[in-house]
Amino acid sequence: MSERIAIDVDNLVVDRGGKRVIHGVSFTVPAGEITALLGANGAGKSSTVMALAGAIPAAGGDIWLSGMKLDGLVPDRIRREGIALVPEGHRVLGQMTVEDNLLVAALDRTAAGRKAGLDRVFAIFPELKERRNQLASNLSGGQKQMVAMGQAFIARPRFMIVDELSLGLAPAVVKRLGEALTLAAGEGIGVLLIEQFANLALGLSSRAMVMERGRLAFTGTSAELKANPGILHGAYLAH
């Protein structure tokens, strides 16, 4: 029997600043698909994915990667197990070149692996190749997001978690970024996509979840959610 590849979150609880912000959520992120995580500001999306990546501790519940327990591991170990987080705000190391920004995310690969990784990122985002020797601080917001996504791609992850794909970016760039995620899913990478614009997310994803005040108000297919707009309206109005 082939191994079932998925992130399984079971009854996750997260506290921040002494306050419970995630109240026991359970969901699965399968390989080879894009799963959208939607919800109003403050609903708990970032807290959920930061806990998945080990950036903040879980106060309860379990996080599994294909049967291996992830909660309690340090972020670097979780990254090495194949979970790449693209954090909110397309942050880059501004005083380093585009190429070095990408290479720091591939330090544990061989020289040949790093070269192959760079070639792959440059094939997906040719504008980064043209700018490979420029300081990352000089890039546009969209190009910085490409670098942040490139750092995920170069690590050859099994899962990519993208916190706010489109925030502040022009539609043409967002389209390119979305295509890169579709490509990743087509290659078998599981993508968890947090996105403010529900239509954009549901256009890319096959599965969707709606979070409302630290709880999941919906999990199902994106088609189901599109067919029931009241669920989304309710979640955004409930805020």
Ligand X SMILES: Nc1ncnc2c1ncn2[C@@H]1O[C@H](COP(=O)(O)OP(=O)(O)OP(=O)(O)O)[C@@H](O)[C@H]1O
Residue 215 interacts with ligand X (CB under 6 A): yes or no: no
Q: Which CB atom, from 30 or from 44, has the smaller least distance to ligand X?
A: 44
Residue 171 interacts with ligand X (CB under 6 A): yes or no: no
Q: Which of 171, 144, 162, 157 is nearest to 205 (CA)?
A: 162
Least distance (Å) between residue 17 CB and ligand X: 3
Residue 151 interacts with ligand X (CB under 6 A): yes or no: no
Residue 208 interacts with ligand X (CB under 6 A): yes or no: no
* Of the candidate residues 12, 21, 121, 162, the single one contacting ligand X (CB under 6 A): 21
Give the binding-site size for ligand X (rule: CB under 6 A). Answer: 11
Name the pairing type of β-strands 34-38 and 207-212.
Answer: parallel
**Strand residues in the chain grouped as ranges (E):** 6-16, 19-30, 34-38, 60-65, 68-69, 83-86, 159-163, 190-194, 207-212, 215-221
Does residue 7 contact residue 28 with C-beta atoms inside 8 Å?
Answer: yes
- CA 36 to CA 195: how far, in whole Å? 7
Residue 52 interacts with ligand X (CB under 6 A): yes or no: no
Residue 46 interacts with ligand X (CB under 6 A): yes or no: yes
Residue 166 interacts with ligand X (CB under 6 A): yes or no: no
- H helix count then E strand count, the chain: 10, 10
Helix, strand, coil in percent for the chain, rounding step 5: 40, 25, 30
Residue 35 interacts with ligand X (CB under 6 A): yes or no: no
- CA 50 to CA 56: how far, in whole Å? 6
**Which residue stretch of 35-43, 144-152, 168-176, 225-233 sits at the interface with ligand X (rule: CB under 6 A)?**
35-43
* Of the candidate residues 41, 95, 110, 133, the single one contacting ligand X (CB under 6 A): 41
Q: Which CB atom, from 46 or from 222, has the smaller least distance to ligand X?
A: 46
Residue 68 CA neighbour count, 13 Å, CB half: 13
**Which residue stretch of 41-49, 103-111, 178-186, 226-234 sits at the interface with ligand X (rule: CB under 6 A)?**
41-49
Residue 25 interacts with ligand X (CB under 6 A): yes or no: no
Does residue 90 contact residue 174 with C-beta atoms inside 8 Å?
Answer: no
Which residues contribute to the site for ligand X (CB under 6 A)? Answer: 16-17, 21, 39, 41-47
